[in-house]
Amino acid sequence: MTISEAVETGGYAEDFATRGTIPLLPGMDPFYRSPIDPGSVAPGTILRSRPVTVSLLGRIPQRVRAWQLLYRSTDLEGRPEATVTTVLLPWDADPARERPLVSFQCAIDAVAPKCFPSYALQHRSRALGAIPQIEFPLIVAALARGWAVSVPDHGGINGHFGAAREPGHRALDGLRAALRFAPLGLHPRTRIGLWGYSGGGLATAWSAELAAEYAPELDIVGAVAGSPVGDPAAAFVRLNGSPFAGFAMVFTAGLRRAYPRLDEALRAVVSAEYLELLDRAEHIATFPLLARFAGRNANRHIHGGLGALLTRPEMRTVLADIEPGATAPAMPMFVVQGVNDEVIAVADVDAHVQRYRDRGAHVRYLRDRLSTHLPLQFLAIPVMVDWLADRLAGRPLPPSEVRTVWSVAVSPRALVEHAHSIALLVTMLSGRPIRTRSAFR
């Protein structure tokens, strides 16, 4: 469907008429293949578009307006590529009303195509265990504010989980494409926010760091990064052999795709059995992968142990490259992290935030004493969305500070917002239209 056709049909009506079809995986779906050389157009140029039906857990179709955009972006080496974002509006969006745009970076945390948001969010997708399906209520929380939302496949068509900078390129170019997509009713000076949690928080950090140089024309007014990994190399070492060892494995699988020299180094020291396990990890959704590889220790499969791999020049180069924080974001940031997070160490996020603050960034950092990793993503929805809403509305900026609280979820304001979140979930389960809430603070 061309942009003009999408405007004429409204997109969503045609989408609901065809929602009975089973979506193809990205590698089999011709939509993901650019009709022209991506290098012949500017970053953010729309190459294809189509309406889609998104759903809760792939089973309950949601009454929102949704399209996919194939657009031109840039990979780690500066080469042009094509990737996809899913763009959404609330059901009752008024095309004449000005609205902000938010890029929500999912915690893809996988290289399997079934975990790409563009596939996992589609109705009838077969993506059980893909994190984007679990995060869909956060996207709906943004839609309920009346915002347009872009959900990029920030790992790219080849699933480069963990790679440096690429997620930022893809998210920022997805925003450029969304601004150009007429059915969203946006314009070049639309106010923009960034948001993501865990692996999506890391992608948000890359987007925030790169925005001023890579996409200076975008009016990005704030970025929310929940539990943004902080030090991927440290997380890799710490999670190895733990109940979350699957993260370390899929992290390795993604990096060897993005950095060919690392793949060569791995093959020199890693057993054939472990390479086979990495190949399997490339086809498994995140939660089944965590269950299958819980406790797996790479030391058993590496000649000389994990230390021998980590000291190889190729590995040291990659690990240094993927650490965020070398560039101060130009926009203000809000970071939230669990003090007792069992997946992402609070010390790593503390250091990440301090790198930003040392370079002059404005960061409001809340450390939550009680929450663990997955619950905090949902318990912190009120503080994350409210902070972002204030930036999008141009309200006064709170101080740049580091605070430790018992819980971000128990203030009177947060309790009211949790009630709204429960009501939204009921709406999602019922399949009723996702509409803009009538009043906010």
pLDDT at 325: 94
Q: Assess whether 112 and 251 both reside in one domain.
A: no
Q: Assess whether 186 and 53 both reside in one domain.
A: yes
The answer to whether 46 and 73 are in contact (CB under 8 A) is no
In a domain, 440, yes or no: no
pLDDT at 281: 86
pLDDT at 409: 92
Domain span at residue 310 reads 232-321
Domain boundary (252, 287, 321) is at: 321
CATH of the domain at 259: 1.10.260.130
Going along 75-119, which residue ranges are E strands? 80-89, 101-105
In a domain, 439, yes or no: no
Q: Assess whether 259 and 342 both reside in one domain.
A: no
Q: Assess whether 63 and 209 both reside in one domain.
A: yes
Helices (H), 331-411: 346-358, 373-379, 381-392
In a domain, 438, yes or no: no
In a domain, 26, yes or no: yes
pLDDT at 165: 96
Q: Assess whether 247 and 226 both reside in one domain.
A: no
Rounded distance, CA 26 to CA 369, Å? Answer: 40
Domain boundary (278, 298, 321) is at: 321
In a domain, 222, yes or no: yes
pLDDT at 215: 98
In a domain, 307, yes or no: yes
CATH of the domain at 378: 3.40.50.1820
In tens digits, what is the pLDDT along the chain, a chain of 441 residues? 333 333 333 333 334 434 568 899 999 999 999 999 999 999 999 999 999 999 999 999 999 999 999 999 999 999 999 999 999 999 999 877 899 999 999 999 999 999 999 999 999 999 999 999 999 999 999 999 999 999 999 999 999 999 999 999 999 999 999 999 999 999 999 999 999 999 999 999 999 999 999 999 999 999 999 999 999 989 988 999 999 999 988 988 999 999 998 888 888 888 898 889 888 888 999 999 999 999 999 888 888 888 888 888 998 999 999 999 999 999 999 999 999 999 999 999 999 999 999 999 999 999 999 999 999 999 999 999 999 999 999 999 999 999 999 999 998 899 999 999 999 999 999 999 999 976 444
Q: Assess whether 248 and 355 both reside in one domain.
A: no
pLDDT at 20: 61
Domain boundary (300, 321, 342) is at: 321
Q: Assess whether 174 and 93 both reside in one domain.
A: yes
Q: Assess whether 246 and 327 both reside in one domain.
A: no
Q: What is the DSSP letter of 436?
A: -
Q: Assess whether 159 and 87 both reside in one domain.
A: yes
Q: Assess whether 206 and 272 both reside in one domain.
A: no
In a domain, 300, yes or no: yes
In a domain, 437, yes or no: no
Number of domains in the chain: 2
Buried b (16+ CB within 10 A) or exposed e, 251-272: bbbbbbbbbeebbebbeebbee
Q: Assess whether 198 and 86 both reside in one domain.
A: yes
C-alpha distances out from residue 183 to 82, 150, 218, Å = 21, 13, 19
Q: Assess whether 133 and 203 both reside in one domain.
A: yes
Rounded distance, CA 6 to CA 181, Å? Answer: 9
pLDDT at 265: 86
The answer to whether 154 and 166 are in contact (CB under 8 A) is yes
